[in-house]
Amino acid sequence: MAKTGDQAGAVAELGKPCSGLPQHVALIMDGNGRWANARGLARTEGHRRGLETLRRVIRHSVSVGLDYVTIFSFSSENWRRPSSEVSFLMSLLKRFVQRDLSEIHKANVRIRVIGERNNLEESILKLLVEAEEVTSGNTGMTLVIAFNYGSRNEIVRATKSVAAKIASGALCADDVSEDTISQHLDTAGIPDPDLIIRTSGELRLSNFLLWQAAYTEFYFTDCSWPEFDEAEYDKALSEFSHRERRFGAVEAKVR
């Protein structure tokens, strides 16, 4: 989706697309539990409020004209959390698919899921596959859901796939390139993120899109995910539009 005109450096008013927008925004939705603890609430309430934020963010992403949005919904390390919290998070996933899929589909949004699938409970996997299949023909924004996702695991799986092709003779080792690896990642066919936003003041990637983030811009905000609103989102998008992106070159390049 091309962004043209004289509007670089600002997010368009009233949800209209503007130039200078990133093509792909990735979101690390951090701080639900801390938000709840600070208010004397159960951590589950923080996750519930976080889901409300996610709904608003998806709608706003569509309204401003983003092409791809990736959400770090559940990491492969999150299984280490207390079983009661994990169960609640799974119930939120089910609620999201069952209640929000229809709206997402009507908005012409396509859903794509990345992450390890082999060890998922069948009912959870069925929900994720359903979301992909129902929206597979949509041509608007792509919502990438990183579920049971860990970037190192993704790279290992991609490397094993490449190694298996070399062993079978389908691929020559001398022909392996960065593109070869990229094509075997879960994100094959998806452009690398232009901007990663992380809430709650933490300054790290937490095993998220490590390969894909080689030249990504970052925006860190102290507000927790339940507090993240359209104004803070627009602030991140506006700041991105002022960044000079050189991709290793001397002069800035348009990507």
Specify whether the backbone of 189 is left (phi greater than 0), alpha (psi in -120 to 50) or beta.
left
Catalytic residue among 6, 30, 100, 108: 30
Break the chain down into helix, strand, coil percent, rounded to 5: 45, 15, 40
User: Residue 158 has which token pair?
Assistant: 């991609």
Catalytic one of 78, 138, 153, 207: 78
Residue 229 appears among annotated catalytic residues:
no
Annotated active-site residue 30? The verdict is yes
d(CA 84, CA 97): 20
The C-alpha R_g of the chain, in whole angstroms, comes to 19
DSSP calls for 128-168: HHHHHHHTTT--S-EEEEEEEE-HHHHHHHHHHHHHHHHHH
Cα separation of 226 and 222, whole Å?
12
Q: Are residues 104 and 59 in contact, defined by beta-carbon separation less than 8 angstroms?
A: no
Residues that are catalytic:
30, 78
